[in-house]
Structure 1
Amino acid sequence: MATDAPKKAIILAAGFGSRLRPLTDLCPKPLVEVNGTPILHNALRNLEAVGVEEATIVVGYRKDAIQYSCGSCFGGLKINYVESTVFDRTGSAYSLWLARDALLSGDCYLLEGDVFFEEDTLRYLNVIDAFDVAAVAPFEPSMQGSAVTLSENGLISAFCLKQTAVTLDGNGLPLFKTMNILRFNSVTLRNTIVPALNDLIGSGATQAYTEELLAHLVESRGLQLAAARCDDLRWYEIDSTDDLRIAESIFSTASLDPPAASLEHRIGG
């Protein structure tokens, strides 16, 4: 394993989830259920299973429901909350900036609160010989959102934002979907991520997304962000009712047995 697995995690869970209406009229998006399990509960259980001891959740829309559902402890996890009072007019980078004290407290996982995923996704992040790692998977026709291209040595070389179908970039490289599950080293957080967040929010770009920040850091500031390929794992980002149906299908009957492939091949190509 490249480093000791983080003991802390940050989950961004403040947004409206407007494309999941009417499910999110009363229920916050992270508590929408996939086959009976809330998205956020799945994430917390997986984090606890890989040794995380403390999670900070950034809440906003229907924050009371999330706090009631998860409490101050979830299983063996200590839960802290950071509130965004302007969740209706800010992006995920602003939510991350609000959690900057947690970012400065050591190595951590960073997750978006709308991804339903297997526990081994987190384990894959920890077998990569790199300080900072992002989980990725092949970009499928049903997906949309941020994608990346990979270099020959398994680093993320560029971001392609707002993708809606499988495409090739100008160099003919395949695209991989960002799963919005990452691991960051404390040095990177202290010296790169938090200062960049301070600059971004200080400039007034409060509607920016985390992927936009990472794209800037990778492409212009030399951030070495390795890719943990999760091709053989089950996961889905849930933004719409169609996404929810796909996620429920993916997780309905598939085996929970560990994948046969060795974790050691996860880096890059």
Structure 2
Amino acid sequence: MKAMILAAGRGERLRPLTDEMPKPLIEVGQTSLIGHHLNALAAGGFEDVVINVAYRGEQIVTALGDGSAWGLRLHYSRETPGELDTGGGVRRALPLLGDAPFALISADVFTDYDYARLRDRADADVHCVLVDNPAHHEHGDFGLVDGRLIDRGPRLTYAGIGVFHPARFAARETQRFALSAVIREALDQGRASGEHHRGAWIDVGRPSALEAARRTAVRG
């Protein structure tokens, strides 16, 4: 199974840190935010990782190189900043991802989730990891009953971690669309599964969250 990391965002809420540096390269503990994902993917048995880049993307390419420092093979999908949104970014990267379901991870999160678990979902159509609702998203995204996503409460928050079949993106007629549109389509068709991760998870979108992630990294 291949994996993809979404790393094309601007990181507006972390300015001025992101004025000169893309958010995935911000240090959290002894490595960058995206470096934590690469370490976890390597530990989880992944070998090929696609990373989409846009805002200051060449800094990411230069910093990570071919991935050999992590024992990985990295492949880059370059975008124009703000052009494609999350779902469109995946669609652009499909030639690098192939025809089988792939793991999809947002570079914006910091977590102790075991990415090896995603490899057990190699036959998934759409599978989403959910977490308890953070304070800034208290109403959540999806319900979860018997391992299936539902559109009613009580709701949990999508963790930015999942497994997706590439056909879900290839079938979209527009270039720009959100990942949530793909998830909701699968949910409406009864094809979206999920699991509840109860361990560490932080959406590193605000300065306070970045500091919390740094404290967690030091303890870990």
Task: Tell me the TM-score normalised to structure 2 length.
Answer: 0.88
Q: How far apart, in 2, do the equivalents of 1:145 and 1:129 lie?
A: 30
Flag the 1:223–1:102 CA change in 2: closer, same or farther, 3 A.
farther
Identity rate, percent: 24
2:101 is aligned with 1:107: yes
The residue type equivalent to 2:98 in the other structure is L
Flag the 1:223–1:84 CA change in 2: closer, same or farther, 3 A.
farther
Q: CA deviation at 1:129?
A: 9.8
**Cross-structure match for 1:156:** 149
Q: How far apart, in 1, do the equivalents of 2:208 and 2:65 lie?
A: 30
The residue type equivalent to 1:182 in the other structure is G
**Cross-structure match for 1:224:** 191
Task: Tell me the TM-score normalised to structure 1 length.
Answer: 0.73
**Cross-structure match for 1:161:** none
- Please report the RMSD computed on the Cα atoms of aligned residues, expressed in angstroms: 2.3
The answer on whether the counterparts of 1:148 and 1:175 sit within 8 Å (CA) in structure 2 is yes
The residue type equivalent to 2:25 in the other structure is L
Q: How far apart, in 1, do the equivalents of 2:138 and 2:87 lie?
A: 19
Q: How many residues are treated as equivalent by the alignment? A: 218
Q: How far apart, in 2, do the equivalents of 1:243 and 1:130 lie?
A: 34
Rg (Cα) greater in structure: 1
2:40 is aligned with 1:46: yes
The answer on whether the counterparts of 1:139 and 1:176 sit within 8 Å (CA) in structure 2 is yes
**Cross-structure match for 2:9:** 15
Q: How far apart, in 2, do the equivalents of 1:19 and 1:67 lie?
A: 23
What 5-or-longer segments of structure 1 have no aligned partner? 1-5, 159-168, 255-269
The answer on whether the counterparts of 1:10 and 1:102 sit within 8 Å (CA) in structure 2 is no
Alignment of 1:94-173 (within 5 A): 94-120=88-114, 122-127=115-120, 131=124, 132-143=126-137, 147-151=141-145, 153-158=146-151, 173=153
**Cross-structure match for 2:178:** 209
Q: How far apart, in 2, do the equivalents of 1:249 and 1:176 lie?
A: 24
Q: How far apart, in 1, do the equivalents of 2:6 and 2:101 lie?
A: 17
Aligned to 1:95, the other structure's residue is in SS state helix
**Cross-structure match for 2:161:** 181
